[in-house]
Amino acid sequence: MTDQERFRQVMGHFATGVAVVTGRDGDGQTLGFTANAVVSVSLDPLLVLVGVDHASSSLPALRESGVFALSFLGASQKGLARRFAAETRAERFAGVPIRTEETGAPILEEALAWLDCRVWKEVEAGDHLLLIGEVERCGGGEGEEPLVFYRGAYGTVCP
């Protein structure tokens, strides 16, 4: 087993929430992908971090636009998590209701909770770029249990 494989296996034991990162390209077309590398950074100012693989086809548009949204998924939304992780860009938003808030980045209408962000800072980190976003607006948090990712599978938590 390589060091990278072992690291991935070990990190799989750390349960994370599941979010869909969304934005728009220069033509106004929606883009999005599933992420679990999301971290609350600061309360003053309100900052959140998302890790984006340098190989992501969405990264150039996110950098150019300077905005993104995070839609946190609920336990019943495993299908959306898989769709935004695997489907082609055009298929990801098919039939998925979206709306916008302050920045114009698309927010998944049925998300458990959401953050609308402007890029505050970019930090190089190995094969990822960390986008630190200043939160312009946020909402949700009512309803079902959150979707979590643990040991390579989607699940939920019971308080």
pLDDT over 90, % of the chain? 86
Q: Is the peptide bond before 146 cis (omega within 30 degrees of 0)?
A: no
Hey, is 112 helix, strand or coil?
Answer: coil
Euclidean distance between CA atoms 22 and 69, whole angstroms: 5
Output the pTM of the full model.
Answer: 0.94
Summarised one tens digit per residue, pLDDT across range 41-99 is 999 999 999 999 999 999 999 999 999 999 999 999 999 999 999 878 878 999 999 99
Q: Report strand pairing: 46-53 vs 128-140.
A: antiparallel
19 close to 25: Cβ distance less than 8 angstroms = no
What is the average pLDDT score of the chain?
A: 94
Q: Report strand pairing: 128-140 vs 113-125.
A: antiparallel
Euclidean distance between CA atoms 81 and 37, whole angstroms: 14
Q: What domains appear along the chain, each with residue ranges and CATH number?
A: 3-152 (2.30.110.10)
Euclidean distance between CA atoms 151 and 21, whole angstroms: 21
